[in-house]
Structure 1
Amino acid sequence: MELHDRRQAPWHDDSFEGEMVAVMTVGVPGGEVLLETSRLLLRPWRVDEAVVQRELWTERDPRVPPHRRIDEDGHPTVAELEDSIRTHKVWSTGLLAVERKASRDVIGYCGLVDSGRGATGEPELAFELLRRVWRQGYATEASLAVVGWARSSGYERLWATVWDWNTASRRVLAKVGFIETDRKEVDAVHGTTLFTTRPL
């Protein structure tokens, strides 16, 4: 993953919606990323927040493939997720924790990953929030900040994949400017994966 290498300078962009603001901090240890909106802080995960990641795993729709859900032996455990936060850079420079500024609680993640599904140098936007905070505009707000970060980092296009049955995520992607393409991956068991893209 090269996200931290693409960033050249701090930025401030208030062109999204109303009072939304996104700020990137550079020069912090490990090339970590910090984004801020009117209600949210997107930042590296802390080890003690693995319980939030575990909750996300437990809430996933049963149509999601088994490798993305808790298995019959209870894996991944909180301890395994803690280890992942410690050792995988994606949790500090890619898939950022989404924290509500008012209540200081982490409600999910949003960020960029190099999934290999898009063209070279075109990362994928990914987000997932706890069910209890759905329908409050947080996914859209966080995604807009990440789109601004990507634009400022020099990317020219982003991708996002979404299950055809995931209407809520499809609405979020449409709101932040992603357009569904003709590309699809059909899975008779889990549903069709739609490929969306957004020029920057």
Structure 2
Amino acid sequence: MAFTPMPARLDTERFVLTPEEPSDVPWLAELFAARGAGAVTPDQAWQRMVAAHERTRPHGIGVYVLRPRDGTAPVGYVGLVVGRCTVEEPELAYELLPAAHGRGSATEAARAILDAAFATGRDRIWATLRESNAASLRVLAKLGGFAVRRVTADERGRVLWHVREQDA
């Protein structure tokens, strides 16, 4: 099935959401390092960004940078990825710099992404989260309509597979 591409820009009350660009590499390196797996160089961040674009752009999906309307530095990203899911039923992904946690930014931006994703003709969006990721579980609860469909496990623990249908 063919889907309409996601728009190049989405607007929320506090953010302008646009795709990643080369100038985002420094803060992306900081964000990737904040995951706790060690330092990430700008070159490594660039390579990750390019690889992600190659996997998603041909399908009209991808991640958007949360660019505050007040002109301050970006605070994170949100978007649709293939990840553990498929192009037809992509995965909602979001990640914020630690200083931006707890302000409702991920929820605000994810709501815009979900609306745009369903407008592409998709009927189902997934979100896979580790059972221990309380902050991301709260985001899904605030968005509403997500239900755990299955549970898997890997070497790092249980993964909850949440799904949201368009009519939720």
Question: Normalising to structure 2: TM-score of the pair?
Answer: 0.84
For 1:5-34, what per-residue CA distance to the aligned partner results, in whole angstroms no more than 9, with x for missing partners? 6227xxxxxxxxxxxxxxx74xxxxxxx21
Match of 2:120 in 1: 153
- Counterpart contact for 2:29–2:44, Cα < 8 Å: no
Separation of aligned partners in 2, 1:162 and 1:190: 12
Matches within 5 A, 1:25-104: 25=7, 33-60=8-35, 62=36, 69-70=37-38, 74=39, 76-86=40-50, 88-89=52-53, 90=56, 93-104=61-72
Separation of aligned partners in 1, 2:30 and 2:163: 29
Separation of aligned partners in 2, 1:156 and 1:131: 32
Q: Could you tell me how far 1:158 is from its partner in structure 2?
A: 0.4
How many residues in Structure 1 have an aligned counterpart in Structure 2? 162
Separation of aligned partners in 1, 2:52 and 2:128: 22
Match of 1:121 in 2: 88
Task: List runs of 5+ in structure 2 lacking aligned partners.
Answer: none
Separation of aligned partners in 2, 1:122 and 1:148: 14
Separation of aligned partners in 1, 2:80 and 2:127: 9
Task: List runs of 5+ in structure 1 lacking aligned partners.
Answer: 9-23, 26-32, 63-68
Q: Could you tell me how far 1:133 is from its partner in structure 2?
A: 0.8
**Percentage of matched positions with identical amino acids:** 31
Is 2:12 the partner of 1:7?
no
Give the superposed CA RMSD.
2.4
Is 2:165 the partner of 1:190?
no
Separation of aligned partners in 2, 1:86 and 1:183: 31
Partner amino acid, structure 2, of 1:186: A
